[in-house]
Structure 1
Amino acid sequence: MVASTDIKFYVHTNTNAPQLTNNFGCMINVLDACLINGINVGQATSLTATGTAATLLFGTGHNLKQGQVIKIHGADQPEFNGEHRVLTIPNSNTVTFELLSPSSVSIATGTINASLPPLDWEKPFSGTGKAAYRSPNTMLPTRPFLRVVDDMDAAWTSTYAKYAKVGIVEEMTDIDTMFGVQAPFDSASPNKNWVGTGSGSSAHNGWAKWFYALASNEDTSSIKSATPPEGARSWLVVGNSDCFYIFNRFHTDSRYGQRLLPQFFGAIDTDYSKVFGLAAVFDYTSASTSTAPFSATPVSISDIANHLILQRNHNLNAIPVFCNTKSPAGSNVRSGFSNYIAAPSGAVPVFSFKVPVYEGSTPRGVMPLIEWLQQTTPYADLTFFKDSQSYKIAANCMAYGDGQVLFNLGN
């Protein structure tokens, strides 16, 4: 059976991938590449096949990861073109994948190019430092927008922390005209999430935030008015047509490895009605105060309050609600942080579980695509493997300290 390609992932080390730096606007650049435009990998020097087993060769290092989905175009033989999941990487210049049907020739002809195709989301509205993204899946009962403001607010200072202001908006007619439910939203201060107030160290700027440049490293709190270091930060995006996760560092110190902050937007898996959720750092405090993203990660730690918001409550009223994620292993469990059950061995398997979402004591569904691990980082970062049911990758992330989750990439 040929591997499905609906679920895709992207990393900062991919050739031509945009980078998260200490500059406003770079979060939108990453989202545009992964959701809208894709990333060009380059022209291949040869594409050969034996039956359905295809081998793609580049003249230089391709910087692809095992398990990524590539799109081939330009081959004269149509069976080669289209999307394929990379199954093996024999060396830095070569990848292999499987064709849907046996090839008609052993050597493809044409000008063969490869790219990392986007998730094909919609971006109907944009402006300077602003963007609105929406799922392309018209079968969903609702398709709210992710509104992103990734520009320096007039109240902010260029040397301060960098982050995108994010929120769920049910209806829009242009980038600045919003209707219906917003999450988060404060009726007493409708612009609380979008427009800064005050100035200098007393400035308040945004409420729901995806940080990507802070002065302190990932294992400590950071004052927002302190100056972050220059340089690129690691990031990972995983998603499909209904949702995506963006994991990223907000510092450059190499001693802290791949402690990426897990964030999310998209449809929560439910049995009764799809509802969209947003995982972010919800922080409405002045620039002079500290923020602690490592303690605001409901995607990788259970029982974290007020950092995962759903657009509507369990009665589907127009009331956004904060929810918690839970773990079957107990309270305050950090995925991939500790051997909660037992260390994996020849006799003990690696245990992973779906992640349920609760509004108080009311179950709302499960986080899509992701699984929590009950053992200490049992895989190397971005390990690609197939279990009895599906392909998966392991992703290192922040869980107070070192953590890891699994992403299910489908069959």
Structure 2
Amino acid sequence: MTDLSVKYFNNAMAGAPQVSNAWGDLVNMLDAVLIHGFNLKAIDRLSFAEGLATATITTGHSYLKDQVVLIEGANESAYNGQFRVLAVTATTFSYAVTGTPASPATTATSLSAKVAPLGWEIAFATTHKRAYRSRHVQSPGNLLLIDDSLKGASYGTTWAKWANVGIVEDMADIGTIVGAQAPFDPSKPNQNWTQWEANQWGWHKWYHAQQGGYENYGDSGGGNRNWVLVGDDRLFFLFVTNAAGYNWYGRNFYCFGDLESFKPGDRYHTVLCADDRYWSINNQYSSYPGQYNGYGLTHSLDVGGKVILRNHTQVGNYVRWGVTSLNTNNGQQVCGRGNLPFPNGADYSLWLMPTYVRQEDGHLRGMMPGMYWMHQDRPYTDQTIVENVVGQSGRRFLLVRTQYSSEAEGAQVAFDITGPWR
């Protein structure tokens, strides 16, 4: 059976939620992509022939080949559910169905289509603040707590915009954390979520508006940001720029979800990648908008901004982690900036390698599902989809570029968009 758990989204898709220079924009986008879907369309006619359902939307639909859509409203159940789009015209799209449903479809209400979400849930919510959780039965259910609201009276609408983020084991309500959390300072237990002291508001952050300099230096202006999100029902990777007009060269690289743990019965293998930035007006100057340190998951063994809820012993506080893969030069690797020639001479090919998670204490904890390390140097343009990768028969990969070192350079990361990841 075709797997539909893996999906990818970007700001250029028709009807996609936009992230701009306003508090709450990031949470609004995540609501659509993780929970609700987007680009809802009424279907005028839904018919069946030779194993394919064809939906007609006379005003146009803008769905893409290979996009996963959610169909609802048909009396004949075979038409309903999530499906991968196989063919499109300006006013129709087709997908495979099982059985031989009556044609055309009938409905007691209406027929509709939309871009299908990843299928997570909101456990708790308030204005611009959410606690997201995987619904998968094998997930430990640890929460992404994210606060994309204005950071108190001392912060203004023209300052940098960011969401405070962290992993929490459980919550009693949107303001009450229960159990383990990461990051966490026992001497300042609420430091990541409140203004614990002057000129500071948390330290693990996802930015969507920031200039170079300190956080009060500026917000880089109005306009929609470039973003890409790829994930499954237990883990997602997020790329988002800080300013309108930036493409891949301004993207921050973040993630949240469950890794593929090497420890049987692991209940704390939830990972987070963020900007690790404790701000005050007198420190942590950044010379360009983008990842403050570590550049997300592009630098092997770098642990900045990356936390696992607890280490492999399942007790104590969080542990930091870094990614690692095949080492080709006995030093730090940068994904998509490698020293292997492209194409590889022996087989004239692109090579993609598994990505492993290494705790700061040295132990290998597991693998990053869906993410593949690229040891060649930016072989394709941003968001190219490739197939026929060596050793990956039948799988397609989305190659996403992201910021590395400055706006004029870049790294590149590969994601399996065929699935399943586990």
Q: TM-score, normalised by structure 2?
A: 0.86
Letter in 2 for 1:280: A
Q: Using a 3 Å threshold, how does the CA distance of structure 1 residues 323 and 97 change in structure 2: closer, same or farther?
A: same
- Distance in structure 2 (CA, Å) of the matches to 1:380 and 1:102: 41
Q: Secondary structure at the match of 1:147?
A: strand
**1:276 maps to 2:270:** yes
Once the two structures are aligned, what percentage of the paired residues are identical?
29
Q: Over residues 367-410 of structure 1, what are the superposed CA-to-partner deviations in whole Å (9 max), with x where a residue is unaligned? A: 12111222233344434455414343332323443232222231
Q: Using a 3 Å threshold, how does the CA distance of structure 1 residues 395 and 107 change in structure 2: closer, same or farther?
A: farther
Q: Over residues 45-100 of structure 1, what are the superposed CA-to-partner deviations in whole Å (9 max), with x where a residue is unaligned? A: 44444422344443345343443210112334332221111234x4554444322x
Letter in 1 for 2:412: Q
Q: Secondary structure at the match of 2:34?
A: helix
Q: How does 1:120-199 map to 2 (within 5 A)?
A: 120-140=119-139, 142-154=140-152, 155-197=154-196
Q: Using a 3 Å threshold, how does the CA distance of structure 1 residues 250 and 65 change in structure 2: closer, same or farther?
A: farther
Q: Give 1:39 deviation, angstroms.
A: 1.4
Q: Give 1:161 deviation, angstroms.
A: 0.4
Q: Secondary structure at the match of 2:43?
A: strand
Q: Which runs of 5+ in 1 are unaligned?
A: 217-221
The aligned residue for residue 382 of structure 1 is: 383
Q: Pick the aligned partner of 1:290 from 285, 294, 306.
A: 285
Q: Using a 3 Å threshold, how does the CA distance of structure 1 residues 215 and 173 change in structure 2: closer, same or farther?
A: same
The aligned residue for residue 356 of structure 1 is: 356
Number of residue pairs the alignment of both structures matches: 397
- Distance in structure 2 (CA, Å) of the matches to 1:137 and 1:194: 27
Letter in 2 for 1:223: Y
Q: Using a 3 Å threshold, how does the CA distance of structure 1 residues 386 and 343 change in structure 2: closer, same or farther?
A: closer
Q: How does 1:62-141 map to 2 (within 5 A)?
A: 62-88=61-87, 90-99=88-97, 101-104=98-101, 107-110=104-107, 111-140=110-139
Q: Using a 3 Å threshold, how does the CA distance of structure 1 residues 345 and 41 change in structure 2: closer, same or farther?
A: farther
Q: Secondary structure at the match of 1:17?
A: coil
**1:15 maps to 2:14:** yes
Is contact 1:310–1:322 with CA below 8 Å preserved after alignment? yes
- Distance in structure 1 (CA, Å) of the matches to 2:189 and 2:79: 52
Is contact 1:324–1:357 with CA below 8 Å preserved after alignment? yes
**1:410 maps to 2:419:** yes
CA RMSD of aligned residues (A): 2.5
- Distance in structure 2 (CA, Å) of the matches to 1:367 and 1:286: 33
Q: Using a 3 Å threshold, how does the CA distance of structure 1 residues 59 and 329 change in structure 2: closer, same or farther?
A: farther
Q: Using a 3 Å threshold, how does the CA distance of structure 1 residues 325 and 83 change in structure 2: closer, same or farther?
A: same
- Distance in structure 1 (CA, Å) of the matches to 2:414 and 2:248: 18
Q: Give 1:302 deviation, angstroms.
A: 1.6
Q: TM-score, normalised by structure 1?
A: 0.88
- Distance in structure 1 (CA, Å) of the matches to 2:125 and 2:74: 35
Q: Which moved more, 1:70-79 or 1:50-59?
A: 50-59
Q: Pick the aligned partner of 1:394 from 394, 399, 404.
A: 399
Q: Pick the aligned partner of 1:325 from 299, 323, 326.
A: 323
Q: Using a 3 Å threshold, how does the CA distance of structure 1 residues 391 and 32 change in structure 2: closer, same or farther?
A: same
Q: Using a 3 Å threshold, how does the CA distance of structure 1 residues 285 and 393 change in structure 2: closer, same or farther?
A: same
**1:229 maps to 2:221:** yes
Is contact 2:340–2:377 with CA below 8 Å preserved after alignment? no
- Distance in structure 1 (CA, Å) of the matches to 2:200 and 2:49: 61
Which structure features the higher share of strand residues?
Answer: 1
Is contact 1:296–1:307 with CA below 8 Å preserved after alignment? yes
Q: Give 1:311 deviation, angstroms.
A: 0.6
Letter in 2 for 1:267: D
Is contact 1:336–1:377 with CA below 8 Å preserved after alignment? yes
Letter in 2 for 1:240: D
Q: Give 1:164 deviation, angstroms.
A: 0.3
- Distance in structure 2 (CA, Å) of the matches to 1:390 and 1:132: 32
Q: Using a 3 Å threshold, how does the CA distance of structure 1 residues 384 and 93 change in structure 2: closer, same or farther?
A: farther
Is contact 1:193–1:208 with CA below 8 Å preserved after alignment? yes
Letter in 1 for 2:149: D
Q: Using a 3 Å threshold, how does the CA distance of structure 1 residues 229 and 176 change in structure 2: closer, same or farther?
A: same
Q: Using a 3 Å threshold, how does the CA distance of structure 1 residues 384 and 31 change in structure 2: closer, same or farther?
A: same
The aligned residue for residue 219 of structure 1 is: none
- Distance in structure 1 (CA, Å) of the matches to 2:13 and 2:76: 27
The aligned residue for residue 237 of structure 2 is: 245
Letter in 1 for 2:414: L
Is contact 2:301–2:321 with CA below 8 Å preserved after alignment? no
Letter in 2 for 1:160: W
